[in-house]
Structure 1
C-alpha cells in the first residue's frame, strides 16, 4: 500500500505542475485530413504483434482492435465472391467506416470457392481484385486480418429450391464428395443445418479428415486430399498478398483467420468436441501456421477459432473446448472466438431485453481462456439481427456486448471494483455491408429466388450500415452505440476501462454506469453526457502517446478531459513537431480518416517512469465547465484511483 501511495503522490506532483488548459485558444482544433502525419503514425503503429495476453504495436503500446467484418457480400455470388462491386465502393466503405465509427480494424472475408475454381489452379484475377479492395482499407488507416470464410461448408451443397444456402468450398470439392441431397428437416434457423443437415455434416467431416477426393478434370481424374488443397490455396493467396502490397500496407495486415466457425461435422467413435479440437483442429492450425511462414507471414499471428460451440450461452448447445489441451499459444497465435446470444435470437429462452452486465460472465470466459493460453484474444464476430421477431432486443443486446468487451464488470459495480475490470477485448462486429437492403442475389443460382432485403443471406439482417436514397453511407444503429470511445493504443498496461455511451432503446436512454454519489463534482462535470474512464500503468518503454478514439459529438469545444496529467476543455491540436511540456492532452485527426478524431495523452518528458499510475476521464457533458469544477473532479478521481486497489505491477 505504501508503494502505491508513493507512486500516486509522484503523479499528483506532476499534475500540480501541469497547465490546466481551457478558454478560447483551446477551442480551435482542426478537422482537416491534410495535416502532416504525426511521428507515431505509419508502419510502426500499424504493425501488431502478440505480447503476452496483449496486442502491441511497433512502439510497444498496448493495442485494442475495434471494427467490423467486411463483408457478407463475400458469401454471395452477385459480385463474384468479392466484398465489393468495385474498388471505388471499397474506398467509400472504408472511408465511411472510419468516419462513422472510428474503427481501426476489419476482418476481411475471402472465398475459397473463387480463389480455387479448379483443383490446383488459383484464380489470379480474383486474388488481384480482392487485393485491390483490401488496399482501400489499409490506405484508410485500418488494420486488416483476412478470413477464408465458410458457412455450412459450401453453397454447392444446396439445390436451387433450398430454403438455405452456404459458402466456402468450391464446386469441384462438393461434386467429388458424392454427398446426399441436402435437407435440414424442420429447421427454423439456418444454423440448425450445422447439426441436422447430413450433407453439411458429411462434407465438413471429410474436410477435417482430409479425405482424398477423385476429381474429374478435362485431362482425366486427379486425386486431391481436400484439406491439403485448401492449405495450398491459402499459401498461394498469402504469397500473392505479401508480394502485391507495399511494405507499409503489409505492415497493416495483422494476421490471418484460417477458418470460420469450425465444427466437427460428425465425431468418430469415442471422439468428443474436446478431443476433436486436440486431434484434428489444432493440427490443422499448425499446418496453416507453417504455410503462413512459407508465404512470408512469419511475423504475423494466426487467429485460431475453437470449436464454435465452446462458449454457447445455451446449455443445450455448449460443448467442451476452447483449446483445453493446447498448452500455451505464445505470440504466433491469437485466441479468436465469436459470440451471439442464442437465447435472445431465439426469443424462447429470453423474453425481455438485455440488461447491465448481461454478458459479463460470457466475455469473462474469453478473458480467462486468453490468460490460460498466454495469448491475446479477439471476438471477431458478434451482433444481433436488425429485423425479425427479436429485432427489438438489438439496442440492449449490442450495448451489453460492447460493455462486456470494455470490462468484465457490470456498470453497477464498475466504480467500486474497477481493479477487477480486466483487459479491454479486441473485436469486429458482424457486419459492415454498404449494400444492405440493395442486393440482387439469385439464391443458389435460382432466378426465381432473387434476394434483395437485408444481407440477402439466409434471412439475416445484421449490417450496421446501409446507403440512403442519395447513396450516402449511414448508420442503421444508434451512432452513440456504434461510434465509441475506446483506447486504441495505451503507453503501458490498461488496468481498467469503462464507457457510458448513453445509447437509446427507442426513446429510453440506457445509462448503466452511474458515477457514485461520493464523487459529486465528477458527476456534475459529466452531467447527462457520454463519458469514459481509462486507468493505465506506465511501463516506461515508449514516448508515443496513449490515444483514445473520440466519437462524433466529442467536439473540440465540448470535450473535457480530467486526468492526473492535467485538465482541459477543448483539447488543443497536437502539432506535427510532437508534443511539448505544455501539451500533455491534445487531439488530432485519426490517421487515414477524413473527419474522425482521437485524444492523445502524453506524460511530461522524464516524468513517466515505469510503474506510474495514470487515469483519464473523457466526457462530452457539461459545456465549458469551470477550471474550479475540473480541479474538484480531479481531486475526486485522484482519491478514487488511490483507493481502488489497482495492482502495483
Structure 2
C-alpha cells in the first residue's frame, strides 16, 4: 500500500505491515454470509433516542436501492416486475450499488378469483426474487396498489389503477364507477375528488365492507406461506420483511380527525398484518408500515398537509416507512429546489421515526425523467439524496428505495384498462408517468453510501456533481474543516463519520462510479491513501483499507468510543502537503464532534 502525506511512528508502523492488534484477523468472508444478512433494529449509541438497522455482525446498516418495479401495475407483464426470470437476472446484474430492493407483487395476480390463489404466479414471483437474492440483494416484499384497482375504471377512462381484483370490486358494486370531476388534471386527483369509485373503494377496504379486508388478508396469508416454502434457506435469509400496502389513503375521514383515522382504521390493519406475519413463519421478519400518504404532503404555502404526523404504533417488529415526493414543484409559480431545500422534510421523517422508536426507510422517493424548470429531475433527486444523508453534526442516515428501476422503460405495450385503442408504450406506460432511472446520468442512479459501519454512524455526506436541465453541475456541498479553507465545492466526494467499534467486520462503503478514478484519494485519521494502490484482500495491518470491486472496506482496530472518518475524493487537485494538512484538520474537527460538510449553492 502506498501511503502519502504520513509521517512519524504511524507511517513506520503501517509501512512495516505489523499485524493489527485485534481479537480476530481481518476477514472479508463474513460480509456476505448469513450473519451479515440478518437484520436487527437497535438503539443508536450516538443518541439512544434514535433507532438504526444492524446486522448480525454488530455493524450498523444503511439500506439503499430501488423499487422493482412499476411494471407490476401492468397486465402486459402478468402483474410481475419482469417478463421472465432471465430478464430479472439481467436487470439485477446491472443494478448499481444497491443492497436492497422493494419487490412488488399484486393482489390481482395472487388471487384472480375469490377462492383461488395462483401458485403459478407466486412461483414466478419467487423465481424473480431468487434472481435478486442470488446477487446478495436483500428484499422487501410489497403488495403494490395505486387508486385501489384498475377495475374501478372504464376502457375510455383517462387514467387507471392497480391492486384490487375485479371480483372484489364487483362485490362492492363499484366496477367502472370512477369519476374525479369534469377536469382531472392528474391521476392523483382521484384520491381527493373521486367520490364515485376510488374513494368509496378505499373506505370500503378500511371498513371491511363486504369482507374485502378479510379477503385481502386471507390471500396474503396463503401467499406468505407459499413464498416462504418456495425460497431456499439462503434466499429466505435475505428477505427482510413485508410491506402490505402502498400509499394508504383514507377515501374520506367519515367525521374522524387524521389521528383518529390512524388509530381506528390504519393502525388496526397494520396490527392484523403483524399478527399474520407472526402466524405464517415470518415472525423474525420486519413489517414495513406506511402512514397515511397525506401525512407529509405539502403543495406549497397555500395548501397545508392533508394528514397529520402519525402517532407511534407502539409495537416491535414494525418499521416507519414513509414516502416523499416534491408536489410543491407542480405549482404554476414554483421554482426549482435549491441545495438544502429538502432537509426540513427529511428531518421531520427522522423526528417521527424517533417517536416510533424505529428506523425510517423511505420506500419511495424520486422524480420524473427529463424535466426542467421547477421540476428539474437532477435537482430533485440530488436534493432528496442530500436530505436522506443529512448535513447536521449528527444526523441519522436514512435508508430508502427510489422509485423505480424498470428495464422496459419506453418499450411497453399496455392496453390501458383493456382498451386496444389505448396502447401505452412510452415511459412507465402507466398514467403518463416516466420515473424509471435506467437511462439517467450515472451521478443520479449510482450514489455512494455507507452500506455498513463498524461502529455507529454519526453523519454521511456525498457529492456526485450531477448535471441539471440547464447543463450546470450541481455543486451543492462543500467541506469546511475549520482551517479557514473550503474544499471540494466542485469535486465529487463522500465523507463518512462513525463512532466506536461494535464489530470485527469492517465499515463498508459503496464506491460509486463517480468516485472511481485513478487519481481518487482516501483520507482517514490514519493517513492518506491512493485508491489505485489499495489491495484487494486484507494484509492484517492496523486500520487497513481494502478495495474489492465497488466496495471500499475499512477496519478500525482501536477499541472505545472515539469518532472515525473516511473521506474519499475523486481527483482532489491537492499536493501531498495540502492533503496532509486536510487530513489533520479533519481529524481535529471530527474528534471535536463536528461534521465539516456544509450546504453550498452554485
Please give the TM-score of this superposition, normalised by the length of structure 2: 0.89
Q: CA deviation at 1:233?
A: 1.2
Provide the C-alpha distance between the structure 1 equivalents of 2:185 and 2:10, rounded to a whole number of angstroms.
60
- Partner Cα separation in structure 2 for residue 127 and residue 301 of structure 1: 20
Q: Deviations over 1:254-311 (max 9, x none)?
A: 111110000111222x312211111111111111011111121111110000010001
Cα pair distance change 1:458/1:585, threshold 3 Å = same
Question: Which moved further from structure 2: 609-618 or 486-495?
Answer: 609-618
**Contact 1:571/1:586 (CA < 8 Å) preserved in 2?**
no
Matches within 5 A, 1:227-626: 227-268=213-254, 270-314=255-299, 316=303, 318-324=305-311, 326=313, 328-330=314-316, 332-344=317-329, 346-350=330-334, 352-387=335-370, 393-407=376-390, 409=391, 418-420=392-394, 422-465=395-438, 476-505=439-468, 506-516=470-480, 518-519=482-483, 523=487, 526=488, 528-538=490-500, 540-555=501-516, 557-570=518-531, 572=533, 578=538, 580-581=540-541, 584-589=544-549, 597-604=550-557, 607=558, 609-622=559-572
TM-aligned CA distance change 1:253 to 1:243, over 3 Å:
same
Let me know the Cα RMSD of the aligned residues: 2.4
Question: Is the contact made by 1:561 and 1:567 (CA closer than 8 Å) also made in structure 2?
Answer: yes
Contact 2:480 2:486 in 1 (8 A): no
Q: CA deviation at 1:574?
A: 5.3
User: Is contact 1:20-1:568 (8 Å) kept?
Assistant: no
d(CA) in 2 for partners of 1:112, 1:629? 59
SS state at 1:306 partner: coil
Distance change >3 Å, CA 517–CA 68, structure 1 → 2: closer
Deviations 1:30-60 (A, max 9, x none): xxxxxx9723222221222222310111112
User: Which residue number in structure 1 is paired with residue 47 of structure 2?
Assistant: none
Structure 1 residues 582 and 571: CA distance shift in structure 2, 3 A: farther
Question: For 1:322 and 1:491, how far apart are their aligned partners in 2?
Answer: 33
Partner of 2:161: 166
How many angstroms does 1:104 deviate by?
1.3
User: Residue 21 and residue 79 in structure 1: after superposition, are their counterparts in 2 closer, same or farther (change >3 A)?
Assistant: farther
Q: Distance in 2 between matches of 1:21 and 1:543?
A: 22
**Deviation at residue 195 of structure 1 after TM alignment:** 1.3
**Structure 1 pair 236/21, CA: closer, same or farther in 2 (3 Å)?**
farther
Higher relative contact order (CA 8 A, sep 6+): 1
Superposition deviation, residue 575 in structure 1: 5.2
Alignment partner of 1:181 is 2:177: yes
- Tell me the distance in 2 between the aligned counterparts of 1:560 and 1:567: 7
SS at the partner of 2:320?
strand
Could you tell me which runs of 5 or more consecutive residues in structure 2 were left unpaired when the two chains were aligned: 1-6, 18-26, 44-50, 596-602
Provide the aligned length of Structure 1 versus Structure 2. 567
Do the aligned partners of 2:198 and 2:251 also contact (CA within 8 Å) in 1? yes
CA shift in 2, pair 1:403/1:626, >3 Å? same
Instruction: Give the C-alpha shift of residue 610 in structure 1.
Output: 3.0
Within 1, Cα distance between the matches of 2:41 and 2:587? 32
Does 1:631 pair with 2:580? yes
**Structure 1 length normalisation: TM-score?**
0.83
